[in-house]
Each structure stands twice: as C-alpha cells, then as structure tokens.
A and B are shown apart, each in its own frame.
Chain A
Amino acid sequence: MKRLTLFLVVLLGAYLVWTTQDLPDWGDPASPANSYLSTHYIKKAYEETSVPNLVTAVLADYRGYDTMFETVVVFCAGLAVLTILRRTKRKHKKNVKFRPQREGVDIILQNAARLMIAPMQLFALYVIAHGHHSPGGGFQGGVILGASFILLALAYDLKSTLRRFKENTVLFYSGLGVLIYAGIGVISLVLGGNFLAYAAWGGLLGISEVEAHSYGMLGVEIGVAFTVMAIMFSLYLDLASGGDLDEGL
C-alpha cells in the first residue's frame, strides 16, 4: 500500500513538474497573471478606493465577498471545534490517561506576560487600524489580539483567563464580527447599492464615494478582527483543554 502510494505520488509529481515548463517564467512581469487583472489593480485601486495598500484594497473591496466568507470560515471552524469537543458533563474525564498537572506558578513567566500583553494588544489595534497603509489588517491584528489572550492563559491558567473573558462573551464576539461585516454589506444594500458596495455609504457619512470605500474597508476589517480574535482564543480553549475548559488535556 505504502509502495503503491509512493509510486503514484512520484509519478504524479514528476508529471506536474514536467508541466511547469509550459508555465510562464517565474518572476516574469509580462506573464498573464502579472499583467491582466494585476495591472488594473495596481493602476486603479488607489484612485478608486483611496487605499494605498493594494492587498487590503483587493481583499476588502474588490473581493470583499470572498473575505466575508473567509471570516465565516473562521467562525465556522470555531463553532465546529466547539460542537465536536466541548462538553459540560465531566463523566468521561477518567478516560484520559495523561493529564498534566500544572505545578505551582512561574513568577518570571507571569511578570513577563504582564509586561507584554498590554503592548501586544496596543500593537494589534495599530495593525488593524493601519492596515490600509502598511502590511496588516483585520486578520493579522485579530490573530495578535487572540495571541495576547492565549499568552495570558499560558502564563496564568485557563480559569483565571476565562473569568476575564467568558466563553459566552468569546462566542458573542465571534458572531458579532461576522455580523459587522455582513451588516455593512446589508446597509449598503439598503442604501440603494449592491451588497458590500461601500460607495453607497458616501451620502450617509457625508464623504466622497472614493473615501467611503476606505471607511467601509476599515469597518469590515474591524469586524474581521473581532471574529478572528475570538475564534483564535476559542480554538485554543477547546483544543488545549480537550473541551473541558479545564487545565491541560
């Protein structure tokens, strides 16, 4: 079985490598992928959306529909892990043979975490808010925010972290994030545009349509950040505790 798989995989791999000779040269600026849509985005995106970070502009505006579902994917994963693992009854606990006990508390770790968490969260907010002008955005900032809570849980323990950030609150934020994203789209739909057409916001906010794109993107990035933060923490909670929200596996 293993041999057969190896043979097939090598065969397929060799064929695929052979097909690459038909592909355009690597790094060729004139290749179709680098010239058609790409050139349009590079030339027009700044003009049309007033966002200099083209990745953000394409992500949150031109392909904002994709990104909404990307946020839904994150939300869905968190919910899936929760549905699969989480249990409130503790009767199966004895089945787990190896359950590490946390011995004492590490003062160096805790103080280091205490020093780091606030700057981390501040930096995360900066990454979210500045995603239009520099590398960053809702996903990246949200992951950093989520990591700060995970750090708290690692340095202290799950229970004290959960006292600060309750499981239901985590879920609420994850749903809220997607709702902010979809809500911005729905409001532009109510305002007479198509779904996620931020230009429709211009009249409401009293700004030009091009600027409205930029504001709309900020709004959806905030929504993305909420969901990603909450779900990253929720994934950690469930996977690290095996669904008991207790210490260790």
Chain B
Amino acid sequence: MMSAQAPILILLIPLLCGLAITLVAQKSKNLAFFLILIGMIGSFSAACSTLIQVLQGSAPIHYRLGGWPPPFGIELVIDHLNAMVLFIVSGSALLTAVYSRNTVIVEIPDRVHHYYTLYALLVSGLLGMVATGDAFNLYVLLEISALSSYALLARGRGLAYLSTFKYIIIGTIGASFYLLGVGYLYIKTGTLNMADLSQMLASPDMKESVSIKTGFVLIIIGVWVKMGFFPLHGWLPNCYSRASTTTSCLIAPLMTKVSIYVMIRLMFSVFSVDYVFNTLQFQQAVVWMACIAIVAGSISALAQQDLKRMLCYIVLAEVGYMVGGVWLMNSNGFAGAVYHIMSDVMMTLCLFMAVGAVIYKTGDSSLESMRGIFRKMPVTATAFLIGGFSIIGIPPTCGFFSKWYLITGAVETGQYHFMIALLFSSLVNAVLFFRIIEIGFFNRFDDSGHGIHQKFEFSEAPVMMLAPMLICAASLLVIGLYTSFILRNIVQWTIPAGL
C-alpha cells in the first residue's frame, strides 16, 4: 500500500518535516537538524522505492492527485528519466543535509531552524518539479524552489544581496516567460496536462501554428534562464559563489540539473522529437550556443582566483555539455546528456563539498587556501582529486563515460565543433585541476620562494563533513564502473522515440 503512494511521499516528507521544524524546533538546533535528516532520509527511501518500481515495471507510474483522472486533475508521472533524477536529487539533498551539520551553525547561527525549513521547501520544490505531469504545476513548484533559493542565497557572503536581487529580477523574467509560454499552449489546446498537450500538439495544424512556436520558444528561454545557459548566464556565478557553503552545495548541483531535466521533459514529452528538430529550425544554433557556453565557461574558470567562482564557471560549462548533448539530435548524444545529469550532480556536489571543507577550515576560498592541502586535509584533498578527475574526464570516473557518449553523438551527426569544444574543455579543466594539485601538493615554498618549509599541521574537517564527501567521491567511481548497467537499465529507456 505504501509503495503505491511512494511518488507523492518523495516530496511530501520533506515538506512536512520543513513545517515541523518551524512549528516545534524553534529553540533547538539539534532537533532542527534531526528533523531535516528524517525528512531527507524519508524522501530518499521513497525515491529508491519508486526507482525500483519503475525498473521492475515497464510502464510509467501515474499517480492521480485527489483521485481525479488526468486532464481534469493533476497527476504525477514517473518514468525512467524522472525516477533517476528523483533518486539523484533526493540522494544529494540527503548528503548535503548530513554535511550541513557543522557549516550551518557557523554561517547562519541566528536562524538555523528557518534555514532548514527553507532547505526542506527548496528540496520538495525541486522534487515536485521533477515528478509532476502538469505544465502549470511545474510553474508553481518552480517558484517555490526559486523563492526559497532567493532566501538561502541572500544569506551569503559579501555582496550576496546585490547578486540575489539580480537573480530575482532575471529569475522572474524566466519564470514569467515560462508562464506566458504555457498560456500560449493553453489558449491553443485548452489543456495543461503534459500527456494531453503532447497528443493535441501532434496534430498537423498545431505544428504550423505560429503561436505554438512562440510558446515553445518562450518556455525554452524561461528554462534556459533558470539553468544559466550561455547568453542568459550572467547572474549565476556571482550568485552561487557568494552563497554560504551549504547553500552552494545544495543549489549549485541541483538547480541547474533539474532545469535541464525540465527542458528535456518539455522538449520531448510535451512537444516531440519531430516538432523540436524538424518543424523548428534552430537545432544548429543551439548546438553552437552550447559550444560557446562550454568554451567561455572553461576559459572563465581558468581565469578565476577564487575556488568557488571557478567551480561556478565549470557548472556553466557543464550546462553547455548537457544542453548541447540533448540538442545534438542523436540518441548517443541524448544518452550522454542524461547520463551526465546524474554524474554531474555527483561531481559538482563532491567538488563543492571539498571546497566547503577547505573554507570551513581556512576561512578562505582563494586558490592559495589550497596550499599544502594534501598534508593538512588528505581526505578532503582525495575527494577533490576524484571530483576533479571526473570533471576532466579521466577513466574510471563517470565523467569520462558521459563525455565519451557526448563525443560519439557529435561525431555521428558530424557536428565536430561540439566535439572540439568538449575536448577543449577537458584540456582546460586538466590545466585547471593540475594547477590546483600543484599548489596543494608540490608547492611547499612560501611566496618569496626561498624554500622555507612551512609546517602544515594535520587538521582535517569533521567526520560529518567528510563522510558525505567520501560517499560522493565513491559514487563517482561506482557510477563510472556500472556505466553499462545504468545505460542498459535506465538511460536507454529515456531516449525518446524517433531519435
């Protein structure tokens, strides 16, 4: 009986725990932490149960909210794609919750319980976006995750208020574009349910309709704003790099990937492969934009002196990977992009956690803070190394396999510029990470270069921070080693018909 209700429990449990924190945990920080942990564990186990159900059955799970049949009520639809995304989102939210034990108390000492409530609301908003099968419901949940992320990002460092304000303005433009696009679809079809929409949009006169095309473009632009795709990315690095450690661990890996999932869902479940690639003619342009995003993101990352900003630009480049992979119009490219959603959440999370631990210990986020890291914090350094290898794409980490499939897709469709951009980005990432490794491992001299050995005391981050970090690092290797299993059992099913 419970397993039939698992789809709704995935997002209901964090929501209820968030409310419980506001209601009962006003005084006790430990109770707030305990409740958030319960919420994330519950959500994760419900997501696991859903994933197993999807893997065992062949048809997607439909969950009717309020018991109403689909076009009239709202339904949750869980197929292989979003079962995987739900699993990875709730899993990384759980890891971040464990990790946050030490950092939140340092960074937001006065409002721990409010912070955790917003955390829970953000996670349930993201999970709801992934699970829903209704275009308008997606907007509501998008706004929940946006509002809670505004609050979390604003409590950051330095000029966080200013960058969050910019994010509010541009984020609202994005969300409103999405809403307007849904309005165009609604006015032409009279429905909001995704499956119903896709049936109606398949008719030939809808394909020619200029307002449906406008609706598609508005929706896609809205989602691109949210994920920080190339020309619309200006807000992202400032906003995420100025956030507090826990916030950036939570938001930076998840928000962008969930937006990419939303883009895939809308492109192929509301519209169709034929519509997106044949009726509309900007497939080439988008791949070029993705190339620019990858190259510009990588070069900007190389220019940064601040670890967190560097990671934010890497995130931008990774967004380019996935958008490009989806728009390659090729099944291998698509599989690479979907696989990369999974691996990228884990590798960015791993890197942000490692950098967060360094900041926690040294109070500094510049490249210099990595000096002597292998002596001081060997475990953190190892996790950082594995994350870095995965970003570069060194086997057996999962970053290699996703890149492999993306490149295969690019070659098969003859879009060599995308392949070149990917290889270029790998090269730049290699330079980037080996520079940091050099600082951390070999460079034991002080600034004047006189060869005076600085003494690096062993001072590792607390276990509560190390454990999730190591799980992340290990998962990068595990995902890499089980690539064929994941591709065969999950990713293969997500490839839309006609690709």
Interface residues of A (CB under 8 A from B): 15-16, 19-20, 22-24, 31-38, 40-41, 61-66, 69-70, 72-73, 75-77, 79-84, 86-88, 168, 171-172, 174-176, 178-179, 182, 185-186, 189, 192-199
Contacts and interface: CB of A to CB of B under 8 A. Distances in A.
Interface string B33-77: 000000000000000000000000000000111111001111000
A32 B187 contact: yes
> Closest 9 CB pairs between A and B?
A80-B151, A36-B190, A197-B67, A32-B190, A175-B22, A65-B65, A22-B211, A196-B66, A195-B8
Contacts of B188: 23-24, 32-33
Contacts of A69: 125, 128, 137, 140-141, 144
A121 B72 CA distance: 35
Q: Is the interface of B mostly helix, strand, loop or mixed?
A: helix
Nearest to A199: B67
A37 B118 contact: no
Interface of B: 1, 5, 8, 12, 15-16, 19, 22-23, 26, 63-68, 71-74, 110-111, 114-115, 117-118, 121, 124-125, 128, 134, 136-137, 140-141, 143-144, 147-148, 150-151, 154-155, 184, 186-192, 209-211, 214
Given A19-B211, A22-B209, A72-B121, A195 B23 contact: no
Given A22-B211, A73-B140, A41 B190 contact: no
B150 to A, nearest CB: 6
A83 B114 contact: yes
A80 B118 contact: yes
Contacts of B66: 61-62, 64-65, 194-198
A163 B210 CA distance: 59
Given A19-B210, A80-B147, A182 B16 contact: yes
20 contacts: A37-B71, A41-B72, A61-B66, A62-B74, A63-B73, A69-B137, A69-B144, A75-B121, A77-B147, A79-B114, A79-B117, A80-B151, A84-B154, A172-B22, A178-B15, A179-B16, A182-B12, A182-B19, A194-B64, A199-B67
Contacts of B147: 73, 76-77, 80
A40 B16 CA distance: 33
B144 A73 contact: yes
B187 A83 contact: no
Contact of B137 (A66, A81, A192): A66
A10 to B, nearest CB: 16
Contacts of A32: 187-190
Nearest to A38: B190
B115 A23 contact: no
A72 to B, nearest CB: 6
Contact of B72 (A19, A20, A62, A182): A62
Q: Residue among B22, B141, B189, B210 with the most chain A CB within 10 A? A: B22
Given A36-B71, A80-B147, A182-B12, 11 more contacts: A19-B184, A33-B190, A62-B74, A66-B136, A69-B128, A83-B114, A83-B155, A175-B22, A179-B19, A182-B16, A192-B1
Nearest to B122: A76
